[in-house]
Chain A
Amino acid sequence: MRNKSVATLAGMSVLALYSSMAVGSKYNFPEPQSVIAQDIYDQHIVLLWICLAIFIGVFGVMFYSVLKHRKSLGYKAANFHHSTTVEVIWTVIPCLILVAMAWPATKTIIAMKDTSSPDMTIKATGYQWMWGYDYLQGEGEGISFFSKLSTPRAQLQNREPKGENYLLEVDNNLVVPVGKKVRIILTANDVIHAWWVPALGIKQDAIPGFIRDTWFTADNPGIYRGQCAELCGKDHGYMPIVVEVLDEAAYAKWAAEKLVGTSSAVNLAAVSTEMAASGADEAVEAAEENSDNN
């Protein structure tokens, strides 16, 4: 009886630990901020539970055997070596589990792929090593700017203490309105990059010479950070993505102000590309001037 309650207690605490790990964002996906991200989060949790159940089943049997069926305990080996019934059962059951896993995933894939009728469309272009954004359609159409890492070089080289958003901050955030379906069209200028914002549940490669697309609808205003996810050369680790989600009024204000400065911004952006070739520090400064001018 006592053994049983100890076992129950141990089992409960393992489960509790496991669940708490799943909730704390340090051990799991960041808090989902879109329908798709929520689907991904939920499916991942379900899969973890299924894996845990199988794990306990298989290794429960194996470690029971390891503990009990020892030569040192005088256990005599049996001589069975196959059983068609058992083998059929443990082939069919995994198939059923897989179907149960595939069903919700299939629905999410179809939803992820549906980039039709967006409220606005933005083109993201990967460069070695920054992102360029062009607002192609919807409110803010015509806005265009580059977005580069804004962490000072001194922090990278440990000459200054590192800031809170070390390596995850840019000079110009990608600004979008909350609750609107935003279609992102991706391409690249030189090599393959990947545009990834974990909280929004999207990651899509940007391929030079080709167009890909993806979409998201942000649930809440806020700032969501991500990074380039495809090795793109020396500064692959230094091209973050920052999406700033504003409520509708604030977005309209931002778009109107941005559009006023667009013509000068385009010129300055062109300058900053040239600067990028000559040196990263100067380019960062140029981009800072750019935002000051605005």
Chain B
Amino acid sequence: MAAIHGDVHGHGHDDHHPTGIMRWITTTNHKDIGSMYLWFSLAMFFTGGFLALGIRAELFQPGIQILEPELFNSFTTLHGLIMVFGAIMPAFVGFANWQVPLMIGAPDMAFARMNNWSFWLLPVAASLLVSSFFVPGGAAAGGWTFYPPLSTQGGLGVDMMIFAVHILGASSIMGAINIITTILNMRAPGMKLMDMPLFVWTWLITAYLLVLVMPVLAGTVTMLLTDRHFGTSFFNAAGGGDPVLFQHIFWFFGHPEVYIMILPAFGIVSEIIPTFARKPLFGYSSMVYATASIAILSCVVWAHHMFTAGMPTVGQLFFMYSTMLIAVPTGVKVFNWTATMWRGSMTFETPMLFAIGFIFLFVIGGFSGVICAIVPIDIQVQDTYYVIAHFHYVLVSGALFSLFAGAYYWLPKWTGHMYDETLGKWHFWLSMIFFNLTFFVQHFLGLAGMPRRIPDYALQFADFNMISSIGAFGFGMSQLLFVYIVIKCVRSKEAAPEKPWDGATTLEWTHLPTPAPYHSFEKPPVFKPVSH
């Protein structure tokens, strides 16, 4: 253990940062900023979750009970926007802030002040989104994809949403540039790109995707804004525009966005599985190539979201084939994780449970993804609950479960305290059961013909909607347990073991004490590559 402390300079070092609220407003420390990102995304997760429970409460029974149709539409719209831009994406950036410097042996992020700025933009955007519920006309109600001409009809709430998206986009671009620069320039001496932990690799590729597509989103919302207020007609046929143009631009952003939310999840899972299998990751280089292939392919599949919008036959064929191809590198990843577990010496602490739960449910989401890729079938399930079920399998049991896995995995390193293992396991099993209760039945609803984004439904859909609503409330309540576990862990007096996971091999576990000191790796660590 003494060797571990060899290059640590925690002793006698004065942190000399302001205290109280000013510490958080002015901080340029990647750990402080990472924590703020994570707390912010947790708050947004509960905001979006509240909206989701509103939706499920309304859909508990047929008929209109608690949400009038217009407000219901605002709930679905803001649920999507808040979860995607407020919860999932900032959470992964929070992980990147904490973990990228620790895992590559860097003292901090490359652009520390920009890092602060890119975080503090988020609360501004979030307040715009949330407060839009209270302006005349209410919040945006055109779906999280805000297709015109419907979104051209909305009131002030739509403009607030547009500005919020602008701000969130700016924040994401800055975060991405920071991550790219850090990874490319600040790795410990001797750490080649192909020596980097997979979490760092997936974030590097994700960051490039962000830089590529966030400006496209900014462009399209700007066009929407000028259509709404300055007399342009980009998306208005009466003025020579085309509503479908919006969909093309939006999904050119939107599909890579899906992978922006899942690639870092692959990274987290690829750290956790080998640690708890006590065995190196199987097929490291094929994992890197698979991640890169998914990222590249994700840029040429966007119109599979628009198969019912009307497209030439060759267009439909191209986008069907390219979409199906994504199954190949994704399959490679799943096979690699399985091979990593094979003949390992596994233990099943909470991070491992969430990681295995992730693989299990993500694969189900992958299957429904391939089914959706088949154009004739997609024509039937497009804009139905089948699609809702599909993307919640990849976003909730995919992205979110990996975030939980990562949080449990690194909480001891971040806080210096161990979380409550029993409660962590409860959190996993409750989430697992209620998640499936909520979303599995939605496949049946979609196949049987229930469209998405409707506040009321035909009687034949009543049973499954009731089951789904019960599951959703169970799932929501189970997440309160997570908050309790985290707070209990942060406030705990008991010190965590120096290295709670004996299979961990990355720098933050081998070269830093627990908890990681406020300033780490002020002198670069000596990195010894392991052969892949």
Contact = CB atoms under 8 A, between A and B. Distances in A.
Contacts of A236: 69, 73, 451, 453-454
Interface in A165-221: 165-168, 190-192, 194, 196, 198, 201-205, 207-210, 212
Interface stretch (A72-80, A249-257, A260-268, A270-278): A72-80
B343 A65 contact: yes
B63 A162 contact: yes
B458 A71 contact: no
A69 B343 contact: yes
Nearest to B328: A94
A122 to B, nearest CB: 17
A160 to B, nearest CB: 10
A47 B363 contact: no
Contacts of A79: 279-280
B147 A81 contact: no
A25 B379 CA distance: 18
Interface string A25-66: 111111000001001100110011001001100110110011
A168 to B, nearest CB: 5
Contacts of A58: 334-335, 338, 363
A50 B164 CA distance: 43
Contact of B356 (A66, A69, A237): A66
Contacts of A90: 331-332, 335
Contact of A234 (B73, B244, B331, B452): B73
A222 interface: no
A226 interface: yes
B282 A204 contact: no
A79 B532 CA distance: 11
Interface residues of A, number: 90
Nearest to B379: A203
A62 B345 CA distance: 13
B324 A228 contact: no
B362 to A, nearest CB: 12
Given A69-B346, A78-B343, A234-B70, A205 B332 contact: no
Nearest to B280: A81
Interface residues of B, number: 88
B376 A105 contact: yes
Contacts, number: 272
B149 interface: yes
A136 interface: no
A70 B346 CA distance: 4
A208 B348 CA distance: 55
Contacts of A203: 308, 379-380, 382-383
B367 A51 contact: yes
Contacts of B103: none
Given A167-B457, A202-B379, A203-B380, A47 B370 contact: yes
Interface in A235-255: 235-238
Contact of A210 (B244, B308, B375): B244
Contacts of B457: 167, 237
B371 interface: yes
A158 B63 contact: yes
Contacts of A36: 376
A292 interface: no
Interface stretch (A7-15, A106-114, A140-148, A282-290): A106-114
A98 interface: yes
A95 B196 CA distance: 29
A13 B149 CA distance: 51
B278 interface: yes
B374 A101 contact: yes
A40 B379 contact: yes
A140 B532 CA distance: 72
A165 B309 CA distance: 28
Interface in B277-300: 277-286
B329 to A, nearest CB: 8
Contact of A66 (B244, B346, B379): B346
A73 B341 CA distance: 15
B328 A105 contact: no
Contacts of B449: 30, 198, 226-227
A228 B371 contact: no
Interface stretch (B90-98, B217-225, B310-318): B310-318
